Amino acid sequence: MKAKYILLSGALFTLFSTSCNDFLEEDPKGQLTPTTFFSTQEELDMSTYALYQKVCLIQTNTNPTIPSWQGDDLTTNPGSNKQAYAEVDAFRPTDANKGVEAAWQTSYTCIKAANYIILNAERTPTTKEEINIAIGQAKFWRAVNYFWLVRRWGQVPLVLDNEVNYERPLASIEEIYAQIEQDLVDCVNTLPTDYSSAPRKMNGANIYITKQAAQSTLAAVYMAMAGWPLKKTEYYAKAAEQAKAVIDGVNAGTYEYILEPEYKYVYAPSHNYTNETVVGINFSRDFTWVEDSQMTSSNLFESLGGWGDGWGEIKFWKEFPAGPRKDATYNPKILQGNKAGNPLVDWWDESIPEQHPMFCIFTIGEDGGDYDYTQPANTGWMTNDHRHRLIRYSEVLLWYAEAQARAEGTPNTMAYECINKVRERAGLEPLQSGLSGEAFANAALAEHGWEVAGYWVAMVTRRDDQLRMELLEQTFNERKANEPIEVAPGVMRKNQVEISAGTTWQGEKSIYLPYPATDAQLNSSLKR
């Protein structure tokens, strides 16, 4: 977002800058209140801009996204400064893990900002439409943050007010999902399908949440509710219904979403505002570094001058179908030393210390433009304005395909059309007709994993798919066994992060993160 839209008063920044328990400890004297704020449309807008500043901080750096490292697509350096990632990768994070703390704090801070708007926006002397837009943004991001919290921790405190409560109890998983659903349904019923001016719409893309973005998110939520732990399989039909509504809107020309014709442009800086993005988090280097995406060097190996936060898991890379999608997700070859004129080598070459596939999703060219793996990557920028694609239209197509097949037992014609559009762009042959419902649904599930591989900022990561389908224990066992994999004829490699032989799977204790120690000290309900 541009600076003029986020230059808020110091009071607003203070209002929305604290963690969940900081909020519980705040002295309310002298703060903004509904009687001193929300008196004009400008102040209503300011509160929404402040909310979006907190939305940015959910994913400004990798710390809040570290839970994604449980997925079988991601691994990391077991040494260096990557211990927090490695702990999650090995299913043994501590309550002091920086990812555990950051994911918890940033989500509750965003929820706090959302609650402030939801509870007070209606006091603003403006139109009902404007109030609906502000409250809709707030309800959406409150729902999304609870969606992250419930999949990472299971039971968490359900905070829907601004009251001080040191002993707020844990809500059940079902209660949390009910609130998420209600918030998103409200968004679908009240939000417009398009905006006309910045910062709500920029470069031809809707930045604020629309009705169709809420519908797409609701489809993702219903998919999660249909799987583990709730296992309400009837929600697959609801997921299909919501996804179909979005697809029908696109086919009718009502909704703006597209599939990029070439996969290489899905994450490319030149297509930063692609309308393949359904839900995005906006960043801009025109403002200040704390609100840019700090992931410029997250994929590039440390031996090449990057940070190397997320490495490719070898087995997942091996099973990933060859084609333009794989070539835009991983470096097909690695430029030795990240220096122009040096040889291009395979990742398993002895000159590459990491000995793992290298993602290139967040990598940019030296000039900040599109990345070409045959040329040096940028290592001079800590940040860039990569617009995080939390949901892409390809995912909506795959959600419909999978949900419809699981709901009805047999894939219909539209389901085949949806999955084959995604496969065609990836350079794959279409699925042949006649598949059973389960085989087809599992094919769509695998396809989604390849679409979001390594993209730890996605709303539904590979880890989240595995959570829903009860596949995380399988990943644990594979990591524990850590069998060598043939990556080229006669060349065997295995993952560097290892799980000790004496470690056993602990069910929910292995799946869910520990509650952060700082908050658990204040709230006795936060016990695992």
340-384 pLDDT, tens per residue? Answer: 999 999 999 999 999 999 999 999 999 999 999 999 999 999 889
Q: What is the pLDDT of residue 137?
A: 98
CA 170/CA 150 separation, integer angstroms: 11
Quick check: is 99 in a domain? yes
Q: What is the pLDDT of residue 281?
A: 96
Give the domain range for residue 118: 1-191+495-528
Q: What is the pLDDT of residue 3?
A: 37
Task: Tell me which amino acid residue 159 is.
Answer: V
Q: Collapsing DSSP states into helix, strand and coil, what is residue 2?
A: coil
CA 178/CA 72 separation, integer angstroms: 29
Quick check: is 385 in a domain? no
At residue 345, φ and ψ (nearest 5 deg) are: -130, 165
**The tokens of 47 are what?**
């509160």
Q: Closest Cα to residue 224, out of 150, 172, 280, 160?
A: 150
Quick check: is 7 in a domain? yes
**For 416-437, b where at least 16 C-beta lie within 10 A, e where not — what string?**
bebbbbbbebbebeebeeebeb
The CA angle 446-293-97, to the nearest 5 degrees, is: 75
Q: What is the pLDDT of residue 34?
A: 57
Quick check: is 94 in a domain? yes
CA 437/CA 435 separation, integer angstroms: 6
Q: Specify which residues 156 forms β-bridges with.
A: 171
Q: 198 near 216, Cβ under 8 Å?
A: no
Q: 454 near 361, Cβ under 8 Å?
A: yes
Which CATH number do you get for residue 184? 1.25.40.390
Where do runs of H (alpha helix) occur along 252-323?
Answer: 314-319
Q: Specify which residues 170 forms β-bridges with.
A: 157
CA 508/CA 476 separation, integer angstroms: 13
User: For the chain, which ranges sit under pLDDT 70?
Assistant: 1-35, 285-291
CA 274/CA 388 separation, integer angstroms: 11
**The tokens of 284 are what?**
């801009």
Q: What is the pLDDT of residue 261?
A: 98
Quick check: is 251 in a domain? no
Which are the contacts of 234, defined by CB distance < 8 A and separation ≥ 6? 226, 407
DSSP 237-256: HHHHHHHHHHHHHHHTTSS-
The kind and range of the H/E element at 142 are: helix 128-153
Q: What is the pLDDT of residue 298?
A: 97
Total tally of structural domains belonging to the chain? 1
Its pTM stands at: 0.94
- The count of other CB atoms within 10 Å of the CB of residue 116 is 22
CA 462/CA 477 separation, integer angstroms: 17
Q: What is the pLDDT of residue 27?
A: 40
- Summarised one tens digit per residue, pLDDT across range 164-175 is 787 899 999 999
CA 199/CA 203 separation, integer angstroms: 10
Q: What is the pLDDT of residue 29?
A: 38
In eight-state DSSP terms, residue 282 is -
Q: What is the pLDDT of residue 518?
A: 92
Which are the contacts of 5, defined by CB distance < 8 A and separation ≥ 6? 49, 198, 199
Q: Specify which residues 14 forms β-bridges with.
A: none
Cα distances (Å, whole numbers) of residue 189 to 141, 214, 224, 313: 16, 9, 22, 41
Quick check: is 516 in a domain? yes
Residue with token string 């014709």: 261
> Counting beta carbons within 10 angstroms of the beta carbon of residue 504, is it exposed (0 to 12), middle (13 to 18) or buried (19 or more)?
exposed
CA 8/CA 10 separation, integer angstroms: 6
Q: 282 near 46, Cβ under 8 Å?
A: no
Which are the contacts of 344, defined by CB distance < 8 A and separation ≥ 6? 333, 334, 335, 336, 373, 374
Quick check: is 358 in a domain? no
Quick check: is 96 in a domain? yes
Q: Collapsing DSSP states into helix, strand and coil, what is residue 463?
A: helix
CA 105/CA 111 separation, integer angstroms: 10
Q: What is the pLDDT of residue 16?
A: 47
* Ranges assigned E (strand) in 33-97: 74-75
Q: Collapsing DSSP states into helix, strand and coil, what is residue 428?
A: coil
- Report the DSSP pairing between strands 311-312 and 74-75: antiparallel
